[in-house]
Chain A
Amino acid sequence: AQSVTQLDSQVPVFEEAPVELRCNYSSSVSVYLFWYVQYPNQGLQLLLKYLSGSTLVKGINGFEAEFNKSQTSFHLRKPSVHISDTAEYFCAVSENAGGTSYGKLTFGQGTILTVHP
């Protein structure tokens, strides 16, 4: 079984400042890692994913994340945030079954990012 812990429930930041949203996971098997964003009253949109290879992955809207296997972390970063980045962000994992996935996503509790002008 897997579990995901997002270390901050809320992160306030000023516009154009850098931001890091922290995510740690626990799993007895290899996993795929994801970050999703949820805007108010909307579904989830995939920001980026780590499947294999380079531990630094780039996603949409200028976000990037780094996979750290030894620390079982997958922190999300953006060097300069905009007002429009205000949303809830979810870290998720799925089991890596030898190159395929069982499809089930396990999510963290979410981090609300609020960007102030």
Chain B
Amino acid sequence: DAGVTQSPTHLIKTRGQQVTLRCSPKSGHDTVSWYQQALGQGPQFIFQYYEEEERQRGNFPDRFSGHQFPNYSSELNVNALLLGDSALYLCASSLGSTSYEQYFGPGTRLTVT
């Protein structure tokens, strides 16, 4: 049973650039949530996608956007990168947008220089 997968594992970008991170949910799951975990901090909720729509959003600027595909996989896009965007980006999947049972992927480590 494949768990949540994320790509790439690591990424280095320059300030002002744009980045796309990818997530494939656990088999059978249809909902994807994204979290940002800065160094030494707990994860912070960015947004959740269900039925290809953004259902909830945390306190993140519009530079952060996402997409969910018909196969339930998801992308997180960040435009105009800032140094402060350096973090571990975690994807979590669940069955249904109201499920409390979330499974996390290993994350993508983004470094902005």
Contacts and interface: CB of A to CB of B under 8 A. Distances in A.
A87 to B, nearest CB: 14
A24 to B, nearest CB: 14
What interface size band does chain B fall in?
20 to 34
Contacts of A63: none
B6 to A, nearest CB: 8
B31 interface: yes
B27 interface: no
Classify the interface of chain A: helix, strand, loop or mixed. strand
B90 to A, nearest CB: 6
A73 B58 CA distance: 24
Interface residues of A, number: 28
Contacts of B97: 102-103
Contacts, number: 72
Most buried by B among A4, A102, A103, A106: A103
A46 B35 CA distance: 15
Nearest to A41: B106
A42 interface: yes
Nearest to B98: A100
A56 interface: no
Contact of A101 (B40, B99, B105, B106): B99
Interface stretch (B42-50, B62-70, B78-86): B42-50
Contacts of B103: 46
A100 B97 CA distance: 9
Contact of B43 (A97, A103, A107): A107
A107 B31 contact: no
Contacts of A68: none
Most buried by A among B43, B55, B58: B43
